[in-house]
Chain A
Amino acid sequence: MSSDQRSLASVDRLIHEPSRSNILAILAIVESVDFLYLQHETGLTKGNLSVHLSKLEEAGYIKIEKTYRGKIPFTLCSMNSKGRQAFEVYRKQLAQFVENTKET
């Protein structure tokens, strides 16, 4: 196994799933977003999004908070420092892999 393949094999599998990496890419650039925004942006069903968010929350990458703005309920999702760090490592690993394997 080459070093490139090894580096790809070592990426965080929890993040290396298209829907979850998409969710984290959104959360990485905002303070927080609500469930509905994530659903619109990812195109996932409510059930699917809930499952992915639960997995990310269990891993300690994101925080889910139920709150109110006025009388309107919001389910706010935000990325914590552990999640930011993990996503940054994942991005670097993938960028490195792409760089090393690109055709000259």
Chain B
Amino acid sequence: MKKKFPEDLVTNSKRRALQYQHVDGTFELNFGGAMLLMAGCLFILNKFAISNDLLLFAPLVVFVGGIYLIDDLVQRFRLRVTYLRTGYIAYQKPQPTKRSTRMMIWFGIPFITLTLLVLIFLNRSKVPMASQDYVLILFPSFAGLLFTGLWMVVAWKTSLPRFYLTAAVALLVSAWIFINGIADKTGMSLLFGLMGVDLCIAGSLTLRQYLHKNPVTQKASDEQ
């Protein structure tokens, strides 16, 4: 049902404030960079046939650590580039109930899924050979489907069509990996590598467009 003024004004402001988080493409660059780091880590583990069970968690540590490190760089970049061009928003802290739901969605579900997949992977010797292959092939495809779902949620929440495209790419990559039967760490490194490249390209294009549209205005933020 179409909403009416004054709800429209507030809803529109809320949507635009949410979209502002993704205005310069740094979100994609951050996530894409972390994914490329993880792909590199998986590639090294695979290339040198490192089979230590503890090292299997290294890509996850690299991914989470990478996100934090790159996020720090992104924040510095935004302070010097984005905020000087189009301004700064301090978002309201979500209410405790909303925050816990959000935390559960963004960290809980991927964490539980990845933990389950890692457990299945670690215990693959206890399952018959046919099932083992099946699990190894499903592992990267399932992770790809998870990314598809996450990008769909981002696209729906922000009403930004470019995230639907990212979700479609994640779906295509996971389908391609599944059809070709690329399993285990090779499949995972391919998934993360291709997704990382896709996100970095999308982020770079968005940033380029943003910088082109918004040339810097001298001391604009302080001329009240």
Contact = CB atoms under 8 A, between A and B. Distances in A.
Interface of A: 21-22, 25-26, 28-41, 46, 49-50, 53, 64, 66, 69-70, 72-76, 90-91, 94-95, 98
Contact of A72 (B5, B10, B79): B79
B221 A35 contact: yes
Contacts of B222: 35, 66, 73-75
Given A35-B221, A75-B221, A98-B5, A91 B90 contact: no
B86 A28 contact: no
Contact of B221 (A21, A36, A50, A91): A36
A11 B5 CA distance: 15
Interface string B1-41: 00011110110111011001000000000000000000000
A30 B90 contact: yes
Nearest to A29: B14
Nearest to B222: A73
Nearest to B7: A95
B93 interface: yes
A66 B86 CA distance: 17
B84 to A, nearest CB: 7
Interface in B162-189: none
Interface residues of B, number: 32
Contact of A36 (B9, B10, B87): B87
B16 A34 contact: no
B112 interface: no
B98 interface: no
A36 B91 contact: no
A39 B92 CA distance: 20
Given A25-B9, A41-B13, A75-B222, 18 more contacts: A25-B10, A25-B13, A30-B89, A34-B88, A35-B220, A35-B222, A35-B223, A36-B83, A36-B84, A36-B86, A36-B87, A41-B16, A50-B224, A53-B224, A69-B79, A69-B88, A70-B79, A95-B4
